[in-house]
Amino acid sequence: MTIVIGVGNEFRRDDGAGPAAVEALRGRVGVTLAVTDGEPARLIELWAGADLAIVVDAVRCDPPSPGRVHELGLDTAALAAPPVTGHSLGLGDAVALGAAVGRMPRVLEVLAIEGSEFGFGRGLTPRVAAAVDSLTRRLTARLAPRPASLCGPHEPGRPVPATSDGTDAPGRKDDA
C-alpha cells in the first residue's frame, strides 16, 4: 500500500500546503490519501504497514525561501530537529515513536514545502501555491494508476487476444 499524508492546518495560511496537495491529488492517483494535523499517534496510525508513505508538510526555514521543496528520507537528520511548523510535536517525534513500537512504513519520504505566512487565515501564498501545484504534478506522474496492458503478457508464437468488443487489439496485423 502507498499513502500520501498531507499534514497541516488550512486555516493557518501556508501551513495548509500538505492538505492542499492531498486535495489536488484526489481522483488523480491510485493510492490512499489522508490529511492530519501532524499529531504523532495519528501519523503512525496512517502510515503503519505501508510500503511507501509520502508526507507533505509546510516548514519554516531561516532564511526563508518560500515555495522551496525539501525532500527528506527516513534517515535524514532534519527529521530529528525541533518542529518548525505550527505543530507542538514534530515529525521526528512520530518517527521515533513509530520506530519504537514497530509501526513504520517500509519507506518514508517527506516533502517539506517552505512557507512564509503561518498566521490565521485561509489560502496559500502565491509561491507556496505554485510549489504545491508543481509537487502534485510530479506526484501524479509518479503515482497515477497505469492502464492495464490491453492484451496482458504476450508470449511469442501465441496469437494476441481480441479486445472485449471482439475486434483485434490495436496495432495487431491480422494474418487471415
pLDDT at 165 exceeding the cut of 50? no
pLDDT at 31: 96
pLDDT at 160 exceeding the cut of 70? no
Q: What is the mean pLDDT of residues 35-46?
A: 95
Q: Is residue 117 part of a domain?
A: yes
Q: Containing domain of residue 48, as a range?
A: 2-143
Peptide bond preceding 145 in cis form (omega within 30 of 0): no
Backbone angles phi, psi at 90, to 5 degrees: -95, 175
Q: Read off the DSSP letter of residue 171.
A: T
Q: Is residue 80 part of a domain?
A: yes
Q: Is residue 103 part of a domain?
A: yes
pLDDT at 73 exceeding the cut of 60? yes
pLDDT at 169 exceeding the cut of 70? no
* H or E segment to which residue 44 belongs: helix 40-47
Question: Domain count of the chain?
Answer: 1
Q: Is residue 176 part of a domain?
A: no
Q: Is residue 72 part of a domain?
A: yes
DSSP state string for 122-167: SS--HHHHHHHHHHHHHHHHHHSPPPPPSS-S--TTSPPPBPTTSS
The per-residue pLDDT for range 107-134, each reduced to its tens digit, is 999 999 999 999 999 999 999 999 999 9
Decide: 50 and 20 in contact? Cβ < 8 Å. no
- Band of residue 76 on the pLDDT scale cut at 50, 70, 90: very low
Q: Is residue 156 part of a domain?
A: no
Query: Which of the residue ranges 40-44, 83-87, 134-138, 145-149 would you say has the lowest mean pLDDT?
Result: 83-87
pLDDT at 142: 93
Name residues whose C-beta falls within 8 Å of residue 151's C-beta, 6 or more positions apart in sequence: 160, 161, 169
Q: Is residue 150 part of a domain?
A: no
Q: Read off the DSSP letter of residue 13.
A: G
| CA gap 44, 49 in Å, rounded | 9
Q: Is residue 33 part of a domain?
A: yes
CATH of the domain at 16: 3.40.50.1450
* Grid coordinates belonging to 64: 526563508
pTM of the model: 0.76
